[in-house]
Amino acid sequence: MNIPNVLSLLRIFMVAPFLIAVIYRQFAFALVLFVIAGLSDFFDGYLARRLGQKSVLGTFLDPLGDKLLTTVAFISLSLQGLLPPWLAVTVVAKDLYIVLGAGILHFSGNLSVAIPSFWGKLSTLLQLVAVCAALSSALWTISHGLLAWLYVVSGVITIIAFFHYIWCGIQVFSEAPVPDKDA
């Protein structure tokens, strides 16, 4: 077990305490947990590259931690009234469809490891910022206009990332050779 994988597991294990903090409206604690989890997402990737510790396990743990954390954050904060429901549905639906698409590609023999795109990374970053802003808005006064702008930009980039991943998946299928039925 290498350091990047430990950081990914830490992020996965932080999901439950984060959710409990949100349920009990302990938004300052939830924000601290979320920031630590977000930093672990940055450092696990950085360390995996820097230390040459990329692993097959890490290629699954890292996105699993991201998807669990963002799904729980967006749904719970939406239910608390801190994030708009349309944004929560957009983020969760995109992640669900991408995971389903990656599964289809994997089980059809067309994909062994998911490769994040620029749009995917940008949408993840904006989603992390949106969650931090939503939690911060429960603690401090933040302009509703600024929050609305951030949520719209995050939603638009999430939709762009979704369509980019779909396009990439279609490209993989269109380039894959068709198996010979007579063989």
Its pTM stands at 0.86
Going along the chain from its start, the domains and CATH numbers come out as: 3-175 (1.20.120.1760)
Residue 29 has what pLDDT? 97
97-121 pLDDT, tens digit each? 888 887 787 777 766 556 678 998 8
Residue 134 has what pLDDT? 96
Residue 148 has what pLDDT? 95
136-182 pLDDT, tens digit each? 999 998 999 999 999 999 999 999 999 998 888 887 777 656 565 65
- In DSSP notation, the chain reads --HHHHHHHHHHHTHHHHHHHHHTT-HHHHHHHHHHHHHHHHHHHHHHHHTT---HHHHHHHHHHHHHHHHHHHHHHHHTTSS-HHHHHHHHHHHHHHHHHHHHHHHTTS-SS----HHHHHHHHHHHHHHHHHHHHHHS---HHHHHHHHHHHHHHHHHHHHHHHHHHHHHHHHSPPPPTT-
